[in-house]
Amino acid sequence: MNSLPRLAFFSAVATANLVVTAGAQEWTRFRGPNGTGISPTAGVPVVWTEKDFAWRVPISGASHSQPVGWGDRLFLLTALAEGKERAIICVRKSDGKELWQKSYPLPMARLGNKNTGYANTSPVVDAERVVACFVSNDHFWVRAFDHAGHELWSRDLGTFAAQHGHGASPMIYEGNVIVTNDQDGVSSVVALDTKTGAVTWTSPRAAGRNANIATAYGTPITHRRADGTVELLLTSQSHGVSSLDPTTGALNWDSPVFDKRMVASPIVAGDYAIGSCGSGAGTGNYLSAIKLGGKGTVGQTHVAYTLRRATPYVPTPLFHNGRLYLISDAGIASAIEAATGKEIWSERLPRAEFFSSPVLIAGKIYCATTKGEMIVLATGDTFQELGRSPLGEGTHSTPCVDGGRLYVKTFTHLVCIAAR
């Protein structure tokens, strides 16, 4: 082989490897890239049957954890021994084969809601490590592992008080693991060094106006402001949508305008940060758009609009091409003009309710129901249901999109859906 063909050959191999590697690293945290829930990947089917599953494997224990991926591996959490143990599991992407599992005794009091569980959160992964939260009433462990399953470090953040367990997933930013600990007890946001687990900063959180609903379940995101600086956006009942300096934990602004529990994660929609609150009864849920760029407490000055019809309590919205797409827990899908709050369309999805957050794949909305169907909707100015497909059983877990494949943690299995 002469030098030119050799160069072309190795360049093609390197490019292919880069594409595969990049595609295999897009869903490294809850709701994928910066928590947007959006994947540009092509090739995920719109409709399928159970015979079309690339694979479906049982997962021991019970969990609602969304898988995260790096390289050839997926990582997720589960609860064993009826919630008395917590485990992290690593499986191979190609066939779902379990590669390793690490479990820890972690008894917890019985939860106050049958729809929640003892392992609701997702890990976060980078090229060197995977980090996960293992939480009980007595301990809030944050543990880091290498990709082979060896524990690298652990940090106990103390006790945890909540009616419905723990649900906020960690994220990684600039060499720190950011962990939100908004609970019914003493609350904080903590940054831990990814290499050592040492505390980089701690940001105390205000006590909730109602101590029984102070626990928050959203996962933070980052937002680059007009001046080029980055802020960390979070949701909680005590602070509403709030902004922290991700390098120090200092509070930039907050908007304490929510009077119910906050489960959904924040998103950025154009010039606004979006947050929503609600209750398990489904009454009084509402969503507010907070104008970005404020300082101090901005609840009286920066609320652009509030929506009170068919707004989600648990599912996090999507933002795409100027529109907010909402999937309510009770099964109403809506498209909203993000700049104004004006409703574009709203339709009830028959036989559907949701605790999973929707994801956007190649411009289509994928919504996993509690009964075990994946409903795919079109984006745009008119409502269109593109298809319904089976998942094998129900799910409360948000889908993972990675390398052109869709992975869904159902109640007892992990399912892989790919192009034929």
Q: Per-residue confidence of the chain (420 residues) as pLDDT tens digits?
A: 443 333 333 333 333 333 333 344 589 999 999 999 999 898 999 999 999 999 999 999 999 999 999 999 999 999 999 889 999 999 999 999 999 999 999 988 777 667 778 899 999 999 999 999 999 999 999 999 999 999 999 999 999 998 888 999 999 999 999 999 999 999 999 999 999 999 999 999 998 777 778 899 999 999 999 999 999 999 999 999 999 999 999 999 999 999 999 999 999 999 999 999 998 877 899 999 999 999 999 999 999 999 999 999 999 999 999 999 999 999 999 999 999 999 999 999 999 999 999 999 999 999 999 999 999 999 999 999 999 999 999 999 999 998 889 999 999 999 999 987
| Any domain includes 7 | no
Q: Is the pTM of this model over 0.85?
A: yes
Give the chain's domain count.
Answer: 1
Tokens of 416: 């892989």
Contacts of 29 (CB under 8 A, 6+ apart): 35, 68, 122, 124, 125, 169, 170, 171, 172, 219
- pLDDT at residue 22, rounded to an integer: 39
| Any domain includes 199 | yes
Q: How far is CA 305 from the centre of its chain?
A: 25
Degrees to nearest 5, angle at CA 243 with 228 and 194: 80
Instruction: State whether residue 16 is helix, strand or coil.
Output: helix
Contacts of 73 (CB under 8 A, 6+ apart): 90, 91, 92, 93, 99, 147
Look up residue 249 and give its amino acid.
Answer: G
CB atoms within 10 A of CB 26: 18
β pairing state of 251-255 and 296-297? parallel
H helix and E strand count, the chain: 1, 34
CB atoms within 10 A of CB 176: 22
| Any domain includes 258 | yes
Outline where DSSP puts E strands in 257-403.
267-269, 272-277, 286-291, 296-297, 303-307, 318-320, 323-327, 332-337, 343-348, 359-361, 364-368, 373-378, 385-390, 400-402
| Any domain includes 2 | no
Contact present, 262 and 277 (Cβ < 8 Å): yes
Rg (CA), the chain: 21
- pLDDT at residue 96, rounded to an integer: 98
Say which CATH number the domain at 50 has. Answer: 2.130.10.10
Asked whether the CA dihedral 304, 309, 313, 314 is positive or negative, the reply is negative
Outline where DSSP puts E strands in 136-175.
140-145, 151-156, 171-173
235 forms bridges with which residues in the sheet? 241
| Any domain includes 8 | no
92 forms bridges with which residues in the sheet? 73
Q: How far apart are CA 88 and CA 205, in angstroms?
A: 29
Degrees to nearest 5, angle at CA 365 with 19 and 36: 60
Q: Check residue 261 and report its DSSP letter.
A: B
Contact present, 255 and 293 (Cβ < 8 Å): no
Q: How far apart are CA 172 and CA 177, in angstroms?
A: 4
| Any domain includes 177 | yes
Q: How far apart are CA 331 and CA 97, in angstroms?
A: 34
Q: Which of 386, 387, 388 is nearest to 372 (CA)?
A: 388
| Any domain includes 117 | yes
Instruction: State whether residue 291 is helix, strand or coil.
Output: strand
- pLDDT at residue 2, rounded to an integer: 42
Contacts of 244 (CB under 8 A, 6+ apart): 189, 203, 231, 232, 234, 250, 251, 252
| Any domain includes 9 | no
Identify the helix (H) or strand (E) that includes residue 15: helix 3-23
Which residue range forms the structural domain that includes residue 230? 25-417
- pLDDT at residue 25, rounded to an integer: 59
Tokens of 292: 């970005």
Q: How far apart are CA 102 and CA 120, in angstroms?
A: 17
